[in-house]
Structure 1
Amino acid sequence: MDKEIKSHGLSSAKRAASRPYVMPETEAMLMANDLLMPYETYFKSPLAKLGAIKKGLSSDAITDLLRVTGATQIDIARWLDITEPTLRKHIQGSRELNRGLSEHIIQLFELFDKGIDTFGSLDEFKSWLKHYNPGIDAIPFDLLDTLTGISIVLNQLIRIDYGVLA
């Protein structure tokens, strides 16, 4: 038998297979950019954004949001102020989302697009989101449950772009 290191009865190959796959940064960045592409017209045109909100985004937008943000379903449900079972129903459904959910999701996509632009890396932005920021006196991740909170975080990213950190 090969000299495999055994841990809890699993070979190293089986242990590796049981861990989630972590994408290399460039692959994650390309995936995020691909997922954000259909929503970019809403970031550039307020009228296009308004039209999408009034029509309602496809329920696929929630799946895209999960993939772009890397957040858990618990986090996304909290941000969108819905229960986890309701979130799962939206993910499995084929109906358009209501205006409130559509607007919130578009704002989150816009924030992540700006965060990737500001930090040059999806992982760097996600790390920044989870640390206390003295400029806004909060952890940015905790503000994503309201449109005003998203706006505060977006404004902080703009300040970072211009070098105004205090």
Structure 2
Amino acid sequence: MSKAIKNPVSGAAASRPYVVHETTSMVNDLLVPYETYFKSPLARLGAIKQGLRSGAIADLLQVTGATQIDIAKWLDITEPTLRKHIQGSRELNQGLSEHIIQLFELFDKGLDTFGSLDEFKSWLKHYNPGIDAVPFDLLDTHTGISIILTQLIRIDYGVLA
């Protein structure tokens, strides 16, 4: 279900209304607690050192729409360990916390670049000549995520070659 946002200047619906999908709205709500970490390196460092709450993995599953198998692969942990983290109440270790924050930042940027989570997820799963890889296959390393973020910035600026 989508809804048109009224043009704030005229108060009327724009001729080409900005469409917000309920899924996108839900994802934005899930990303709100993590957005501070995208903007402030010190806040990010503090969160990494303290460890994210274990519920961050459940949030990651919802934001990405990925399977538990995919998330476990990205985080380099087994599925049983992933399930223990999801059900647990302890803070995550620094490595997992850092990787999860980077994934949240990537999906936030992807949503911003493509305007639709579904379009971003589709882009992730197709070969990209700019990085000579399928972006989805790079989500298991910090360097891979950085390469994808750089490519999203290039897309924003129209530099595709």
Q: TM-score range by the shorter chain?
A: 0.7 to 0.9
Equivalent of 1:150 in 128, 137, 145 = 145
Per the alignment, residue 134 of structure 2 pairs with 139
Q: Deviations over 1:14-59 (max 9, x none)?
A: xxxxxxxxx7670100010000000000000000000000000000
1: distance between equivalents of 2:45 and 2:121? 27
Deviation at 1:109, TM superposition (A): 0.1
What percentage of residue pairs aligned between the two structures are identical? 85
Structure 2 counterparts to residues 1-166 of structure 1, below 5 A: 26-166=21-161
Per the alignment, residue 3 of structure 1 pairs with none
Deviation at 1:115, TM superposition (A): 0.2
Deviation at 1:62, TM superposition (A): 0.0
Deviation at 1:153, TM superposition (A): 0.3
Q: Deviations over 1:54-100 (max 9, x none)?
A: 00000000000000000000000000000000000000000000000
Aligned residue pairs, count: 144
Deviation at 1:157, TM superposition (A): 0.1
Q: Which runs of 4+ in 1 moved over 6 A?
A: none
What's the secondary structure of 1:145's corresponding residue? coil
CA-atom RMSD in angstroms: 1.0
**Partner AA of 2:93 in structure 1:** N
5+ unaligned residues in a row in structure 1: which ranges? 1-22
Whichever structure has more strand as a proportion of its residues is 2
Q: Deviations over 1:98-141 (max 9, x none)?
A: 00000000000000000000000000000000000000000000
2: distance between equivalents of 1:58 and 1:37? 15
Structure with greater Cα Rg: 1
Q: TM-score, normalised by structure 2?
A: 0.88
5+ unaligned residues in a row in structure 2: which ranges? 3-19
